[in-house]
């Protein structure tokens, strides 16, 4: 489970790069019950914060990188962004955004893993991360789709010290690797790695990609809101034994995410 103590190596923040900030704010408001708080004024909204019941759950910004696809970026908490950058480079990753200070809030950097999967880190100062996790309308899991799970585990294990435990998916669905932060018990698992064929990674032109899983009170109701508001469903809704009911979705701009109603057992 994800918690707001943000142990090193655990997800602590996420933001969406969207071509149309206003449209994205309306979509996620309908699907997840989020309120949008702009950091600017007027029609040229460049970004801001999503809140659920007054608590910050994510960020939203204008997609400005040429050729980039609309996507969620997941940030992992680290004690030292510069040291993490060196670890990324030693492990064969690429620095996309060098460590930089964001005023008094913290220090961030963005990377690509050796196969091209994009992720980020956050070295906290005044801001530790989002205010709400593991509750309806907030981040509850992170997931990497990759064509080489073994290489991904070696890379991320080297960078973050993550430990992994493998489980077999029912119906011959392959192996799913569960992620636990370094030195933490297995109940603190915060994500998973799923190996897919390159042709199944068409969303990112064959490259790996991370996406968030959002907890929802009613998966089917959330999916109905996805489709009614211009999004699409890639898979589901379907029941996953021991996990809950879930669906893989795309927002109207093509950013991927999962909605999950967890099992109560």
Residues 118 and 16 in one domain: yes
Handedness of CA 8, 107, 39, 253 (dihedral sign): negative
Query: Are 155 and 251 in the same domain?
Result: yes
Euclidean distance between CA atoms 102 and 39, whole angstroms: 15
Query: Are 107 and 149 in the same domain?
Result: no
CATH number for the domain that contains residue 202: 3.10.180.10
Residue 132 lies in a domain: no
Which among 124, 149, 182 is the end of a domain? 124
Q: Is the pLDDT of residue 222 over 70?
A: yes
Confidence of residue 103 (pLDDT cuts 50, 70, 90): confident
In the predicted model, is pLDDT for residue 116 greater than 70?
A: yes
Same domain, 74 and 145: no
Mean pLDDT, rounded, for 42-49: 70
| Among the ranges given (4-8, 27-31, 149-153), the one the predictor scored with the smallest mean pLDDT | 4-8
Share of the chain above pLDDT 70, in %: 97
78 or 236, which is more confident: 78
Q: What is the mean pLDDT of residues 205-227?
A: 96
Residue 213, in any domain of the structure: yes
119 plus 151 within the same structural domain: no
Domain count, the chain: 2
Give yes or no for residue 11 having a pLDDT over 80: yes
Task: Give residue 253's Cα distance to chain centre.
Answer: 16
Give CA 261 to chain center in angstroms: 17
199 in a structural domain = yes
Residues 143 and 256 in one domain: yes
The pLDDT-based confidence of 236 (bands split at 50, 70, 90) is confident
Beta bridge partners of 175: 168
Mean pLDDT computed over every residue of the chain: 93
pLDDT at 186: 87
pLDDT tops 70 at residue 138: yes
Smallest CA-to-CA distance from 82 within 103, 111, 56, 59 is with 111
Q: pLDDT category, 42, cuts 50, 70, 90?
A: low
pTM summary value: 0.95
Confidence at 168, pLDDT banded by 50, 70, 90: confident
Looking at 124, 148, 175, the residue that finishes a domain is 124
Beta carbons within 8 Å of 148's beta carbon, 6+ residues apart: 115, 195
| Structural domain for 64, as ranges | 11-124
Residues 62 and 88 in one domain: yes
86, containing H or E segment: helix 81-90
Bridge partners, residue 139, by sequence? 133, 214
């Amino acid at each position: 489970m994800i918690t707001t103590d943000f142990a090193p190596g655990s997800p602590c923040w996420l933001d969406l790069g969207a071509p149309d900030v206003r449209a994205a704010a309306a979509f996620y408001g309908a699907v997840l019950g989020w309120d949008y708080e702009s950091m600017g004024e007027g029609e040229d909204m460049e970004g801001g914060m999503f809140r659920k019941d007054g608590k910050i759950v994510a960020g939203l910004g204008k997609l400005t990188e040429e050729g980039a696809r609309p996507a969620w970026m997941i940030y992992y908490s680290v004690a030292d962004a510069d040291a993490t950058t060196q670890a990324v480079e030693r492990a064969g990753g690429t620095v996309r955004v060098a460590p930089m200070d964001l005023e008094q809030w913290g220090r961030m950097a963005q990377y690509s893993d050796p196969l091209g999967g994009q992720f980020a880190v956050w070295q906290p100062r005044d801001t530790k991360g989002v205010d709400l996790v593991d509750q309806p309308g907030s981040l509850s899991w992170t997931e990497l789709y990759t064509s080489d799970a073994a290489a991904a585990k070696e890379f991320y294990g080297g960078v973050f010290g993550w430990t992994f435990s493998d489980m077999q998916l029912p119906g011959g669905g392959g192996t799913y690797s569960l992620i636990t932060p370094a030195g933490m018990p297995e109940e603190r698992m915060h994500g998973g790695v799923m190996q897919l064929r390159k042709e199944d990674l068409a969303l990112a032109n064959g490259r790996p990609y991370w996406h968030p899983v959002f907890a929802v009170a009613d998966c089917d109701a959330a999916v109905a809101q996805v489709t009614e508001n211009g999004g699409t469903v890639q898979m589901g809704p379907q029941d996953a034994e021991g996990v809950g009911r879930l669906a893989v979705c795309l927002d109207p701009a093509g950013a991927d995410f999962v909605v999950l109603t967890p099992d109560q057992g």
